[in-house]
A and B are shown apart, each in its own frame.
Chain A
């Protein structure tokens, strides 16, 4: 795949050349079934505890840390 170089303005206002997007051209043929990556019950439950920790983590409540769990 050929590299695309784009010119952008950096945080200090200088113009810099950076690598552009790297992706395959075209349209997706089918849905991106990321949930199918989790196959067993154990994997699914583990993901819920971590990925969906906002509701299912035992000890990590983010902004609600150290508060009484709902």
Chain B
């Protein structure tokens, strides 16, 4: 009992972990206890990039000791930097490939080749057209969309020049990227180059490898991720404030429960449409169910929560637990963060695990491929599979009671609107309140769950510490869901948990102190919000000048490393928790934690204690406030004529 409580900060999860133990079902929490991480790999000192290895090369901690190398002569620094760069490339590839799928569908939609998708957000299309230099005039919407789609597609194979969205960044930041040679040339090219540089016998200067990793990450944040976000917004709608519910308690015992798990919103969007079809509902009733209940998991959940208010069953470490309720008829998975163990867990119950993406099969799972030309029919086929499975429930159904309200949908456009209204949309009120000290600064708290640490705990402790100290939090991904489960995504949370200054601003605007900005690819929205704050004026002229910091206190995926790296390369102080993948080399770690500050005016940090990490973020925010001269209250001076003359003379 005490053991299960030490696995999650979320009571609903604890309940399901206990149920799993009672029913003899193994979960990720059990495996994490059984299998300790390899200490050599954990610190990035293992190189298996060729057939002469794997080589375990740990840098000696003693001064003057012999420094071992790999068989090829690669130093600990080279190996550590290579491993780190490959993590960045893995993350950037995942986001880039997600974006490619979205761009292909967008173009097919624009050309009228698929009938089940549409251009829902006309204004967002114009936004991209203006970004890409596409003529709008009186042209047909379809033609504008085709041009936008073709330009977006070309970004992946771009070989030279600069990725187009880089020009959205503050001017000073763009200059810095050009000066440091880190401006990305194309989305795919940067990933390929990292894989080449880290091959045996290529780039063997750790600083050079790390700089290339930074460029690769920028092709994710200002490239792949941004393209995903923007094109999804056009097809499915730019997020606006919407209420939703979160946690395992959203499952309904008397309904057919389908969980959409993964990252790409293409099929989930169709499932939303199909689930509302009266014919499908009737079919569900014919099998004894009261209706169809669609719920999300991971970033697919964030996507449909943000746009439709579809309830969220949970985050990364809750995927097995949802099945363990015994109430899930089907779980669809597309790409990223799906555990292979879902097959075994599903076998213990009646749940059908359905893979839907050609790039992500799971041995033992049913495969129903998502095909854009047949999108709605495929969605209905999946629903029928789930409905047919409803009478097959065999285990005891136990759904935790926990579910809680959230308010989500804070795209950067929506924040801009909420702060100023239709005719005066502006980040000015936010800047003013940062300048006057009501809001101390901005923090992005994002990232995954990690079974090596108490589920959700670090996210909550960090966020509570930040908002309690008047730092407004922008959140995405599994971190956003952790915040939601604790009730931090409601306007009422400001009064309950935030410092007086932040609470007063949240109250005036009517927003939560923690703003849910979407899925992991939607971290690009945070880049845009930060840029808007810079451009509005009064807080410096680059992202690195802002009193802002970023964090992923429970990270685990390569995507998180890529995201963290593009924030650092965009000028943000970024602190990660749990573990750090370059601890085997002091030189590499120093370069990331200190050297990058000189290059990018943003740097990495590592702190396992979430409260201490929040303290470091606040310290950084205060340092930036001081640099801007807004660290102390100014005396109000009433200027008389003599003083005015002095001013004019100066």
The answer to whether A44 and B122 touch (CB under 8 A), given A63-B537, A70-B174, is: yes
The answer to whether A51 and B417 touch (CB under 8 A), given A32-B241, A35-B121, A70-B174, is: yes
Residue in B174, B243, B538 whose CB lies within 8 Å of A63:
B538
Residue in A21, A48, A61, A64 whose CB lies within 8 Å of B127:
A48
Q: 1/0 per residue A14-55: CB within 8 Å of B?
A: 000000010100011011111101100100110110111011
Which residue of chain A lies nearest to B532 when distances are taken between CB atoms in the complex? A54
CB distance from B544 to the nearest CB of A (A): 13
Contacts of B249 in A (CB 8 A): none
Which residue of chain A lies nearest to B308 when distances are taken between CB atoms in the complex? A31
Contacts of B309 in A (CB 8 A): 31
Contacts of A51 in B (CB 8 A): 413, 416-417, 420, 422, 425-426
The answer to whether A31 and B242 touch (CB under 8 A), given A45-B136, A47-B422, A51-B422, is: yes
Residue in A27, A62, A68 whose CB lies within 8 Å of B536:
A62
Cα–Cα distance between A28 and B532 once the two chains are bound (Å): 28
Cα–Cα distance between A62 and B534 once the two chains are bound (Å): 8
Verify B417–A28 contact, CB threshold 8 A. no
Cα–Cα distance between A32 and B241 once the two chains are bound (Å): 5
CB distance from B416 to the nearest CB of A (A): 6
Which residue of chain B lies nearest to A70 when distances are taken between CB atoms in the complex? B167
Contacts of B380 in A (CB 8 A): none
Does chain A have a CB within 8 A of B409? yes
Which residue of chain A lies nearest to B309 when distances are taken between CB atoms in the complex? A31
Q: 1/0 per residue B536-547: CB within 8 Å of A?
A: 111111000000
Interface size class on chain A is 20 to 34
Verify B536–A54 contact, CB threshold 8 A. yes
CB distance from A30 to the nearest CB of B (A): 8
Contacts of B171 in A (CB 8 A): 61, 64, 67-68, 70
Which residue of chain B lies nearest to A61 when distances are taken between CB atoms in the complex? B535
CB distance from A43 to the nearest CB of B (A): 9
Does chain A have a CB within 8 A of B582? no
Cα–Cα distance between A67 and B241 once the two chains are bound (Å): 35
Cα–Cα distance between A42 and B160 once the two chains are bound (Å): 35
Which residue of chain A lies nearest to B166 when distances are taken between CB atoms in the complex? A70
Contacts of B131 in A (CB 8 A): 55
Which residue of chain B lies nearest to A38 when distances are taken between CB atoms in the complex? B123
Verify A21–B507 contact, CB threshold 8 A. yes
Verify A63–B422 contact, CB threshold 8 A. no
Does chain A have a CB within 8 A of B414? yes
CB distance from B433 to the nearest CB of A (A): 15
Verify B537–A52 contact, CB threshold 8 A. no
CB distance from A64 to the nearest CB of B (A): 5
Cα–Cα distance between A52 and B237 once the two chains are bound (Å): 17
Does chain A have a CB within 8 A of B370? no
Does chain A have a CB within 8 A of B283? no
Contacts of A28 in B (CB 8 A): 241-243
Verify A47–B414 contact, CB threshold 8 A. no
Contacts of B420 in A (CB 8 A): 51
Which residue of chain B lies nearest to A9 when distances are taken between CB atoms in the complex? B500
Contacts of B537 in A (CB 8 A): 62-63, 65
CB distance from B629 to the nearest CB of A (A): 15
Does chain A have a CB within 8 A of B510? yes
Cα–Cα distance between A45 and B136 once the two chains are bound (Å): 9
The answer to whether A47 and B535 touch (CB under 8 A), given A23-B510, A32-B240, A34-B414, is: no
Verify B127–A37 contact, CB threshold 8 A. no
Residue in B130, B237, B541 whose CB lies within 8 Å of A64:
B541
Which residue of chain A lies nearest to B539 when distances are taken between CB atoms in the complex? A63
Residue in A30, A34, A65 whose CB lies within 8 Å of B417:
A34
- Tell me the chain B residues, 120-178 only, with Cβ under 8 Å from chain A: 121-123, 126-127, 130-131, 136, 167-168, 170-171, 174
Contacts of B308 in A (CB 8 A): 31
Verify A27–B123 contact, CB threshold 8 A. no
Which residue of chain A lies nearest to B121 when distances are taken between CB atoms in the complex? A35
CB distance from A42 to the nearest CB of B (A): 11
Cα–Cα distance between A50 and B422 once the two chains are bound (Å): 10
Which residue of chain A lies nearest to B490 when distances are taken between CB atoms in the complex? A27
Q: 1/0 per residue B193-220: CB within 8 Å of A?
A: 0000000000000000000000000000
Residue in B167, B174, B413 whose CB lies within 8 Å of A52:
B413
Verify A34–B130 contact, CB threshold 8 A. no
Which residue of chain A lies nearest to B545 when distances are taken between CB atoms in the complex? A63
Cα–Cα distance between A68 and B171 once the two chains are bound (Å): 9
Does chain A have a CB within 8 A of B605? no
Q: Can you list 15 contacts pairing A with B, beta carbon distance less than 8 Å? A: A27-B243, A28-B243, A31-B241, A31-B242, A35-B240, A37-B422, A38-B422, A52-B425, A55-B535, A62-B535, A62-B536, A63-B535, A63-B538, A70-B167, A70-B174
B residues apposed to A, CB below 8 Å = 121-123, 126-127, 130-131, 136, 167-168, 170-171, 174, 237-238, 240-243, 308-309, 405, 409, 413-414, 416-417, 420, 422-423, 425-427, 507, 510, 531-532, 534-541
A residues apposed to B, CB below 8 Å = 21, 23, 27-28, 30-35, 37-38, 41, 44-45, 47-48, 50-52, 54-56, 61-65, 67-68, 70
Given contacts A61-B171, A62-B534, 6 further A-B contacts (CB under 8 A): A21-B507, A34-B417, A41-B122, A47-B422, A55-B168, A67-B171
Those 8 A-B pairs whose CB atoms lie nearest each other, nearest first: A51-B425, A31-B242, A54-B535, A62-B535, A63-B537, A44-B123, A62-B537, A32-B241
